[in-house]
Amino acid sequence: MIRLSGSATPALFEGAFRFAERQLRALIERYPDFYPMYTMDGRWKHSGEAWTHWCDGFLPGMLWIVYARQPAGSPQSRWWREQAIRYSKPLEPRRLDRNVHDLGFVFMSSYFRWFGFTPDPTLKAVIVEAGRTMGLRFQEKGGYLRSFVSPDSLFIDIMMNVGIVFYAAQETGDQALLDIALRHCYTTRRVLVRGDGSTAHEGLFDLETGEFRRQTTHQGFRGDSCWSRGLAWGLYGFGTAYQYTRDPLLLATAESCADFYIRHTRADGVPPWDYDAPPDSLLKLETSAGAIAASGLFQLAGLARDAAKGHFYRETARHILTTLCRDWLAEPDPQWEGILKGGIYHPTKNLGVNESVMWGEYFFLEALERALAETAC
């Protein structure tokens, strides 16, 4: 169980943010116009398998986060903005990409942040079209947005991408699109979130009847286990769905996932790669899941109806972030090109195991952004 220590300091978070800035600058200067996914022996550029094409929004998203914290009008502000635009623009054709279920990751981290700084309707149009494309994944029988793997497959990860469908529905007043997003959330809650708040990675359906068949996994230990990154996706994703809908059932689901995370994660806040994996598993801890959970808990703290619960979620997020900054930064290793060590991509394929992973980098930086914004208030 996570035990709060009260050791978080703004200086620790600020120092980690500045280190992240330096690593990002080095990355884009060393490998211009390259969109990495995970390191291999600490290096970003390699020939390792991708499995699926879902991470391109995270690098421009981080560049936008760094840009937002520069002195307004300064040379460094202009430079970071130029880089953020440079890495965001090439993503535009993917607004029509029907091969992945990750258009939320691609566009909400890049174009959505860009639009927040530049209210250009052409930027919004890209996000809306990506949301409509995402909605085309909907399987009427079963009521879910299908994964990239096959039409009968539902991933917990899609809870982190359904937000772009909600956004497109909200901005266009498209009730049918809103219904798709809501039905997906309800189906995911019903078939992938268990009574104790743990989550399954994947659910499979009968395409003829829409009947749910079973839980399974690609990246967890077993089909009935709780893969920690999937749990963090659920914690964060159901909170985002509540932001769009104000449906108390979705908030309760996010809190259930959060409470499982808090009850079953070790004291310092960094989870095992799977809560049901053997204790001697060589894969052990998963920092990217911790970074996602920290950012999701900051979000949930602002959504919780109970003030005491909100305070507890916020302090837990700060505690996890403190551990990541203190124990997992790559700063002591000058040869390491990433920011956060200890991430895991795909254990069964042995991809990105105990490495830096782009979603871990992005959500770590986003959590730092949230923590530092609260300090400034």
Q: What is the pLDDT of residue 6?
A: 66
What's the whole-number mean pLDDT along residues 305-332?
97
Quick one: which of 236, 243, 249 has its CA closest to 157? 236
Whether 5 has a pLDDT exceeding 80, the answer reads no
What digits encode the pLDDT tens for the residues 123-157? 999 999 999 999 999 999 999 999 999 999 999 99
Q: What is the pLDDT of residue 375?
A: 81
Q: Would you call 166 exposed, middle or buried from its count of C-beta atoms within 10 A (0-12, 13-18, 19+)? A: buried
What digits encode the pLDDT tens for the residues 167-225? 999 999 999 999 999 999 999 999 999 999 999 999 999 999 999 999 999 999 999 99
What's the whole-number mean pLDDT along residues 248-253?
98
Q: What is the pLDDT of residue 7?
A: 64
What's the whole-number mean pLDDT along residues 24-49?
96
Q: pLDDT category, 9, cuts 50, 70, 90?
A: confident
Structure-token pair, residue 157 = 């990860």
What's the whole-number mean pLDDT along residues 24-48?
96
Whether 341 has a pLDDT exceeding 70, the answer reads yes
Higher pLDDT, 2 or 358: 358
The 3-state DSSP class for residue 204 equals strand
Q: Please spell the DSSP secondary structure of 248-288, one letter per residue.
A: HHHHHHHHHHHHHHHHHS-TTSPPBSBTTS-TT-SS-B-HH
Q: What is the pLDDT of residue 30?
A: 97
* The amino acid at 272: P
Whether 92 has a pLDDT exceeding 90, the answer reads yes
Model pTM score: 0.97
The mean pLDDT value of the chain amounts to: 96
Helix (H) or strand (E) run with residue 117 in it: helix 111-117
Quick one: which of 218, 222, 219, 310 has its CA closest to 258? 310
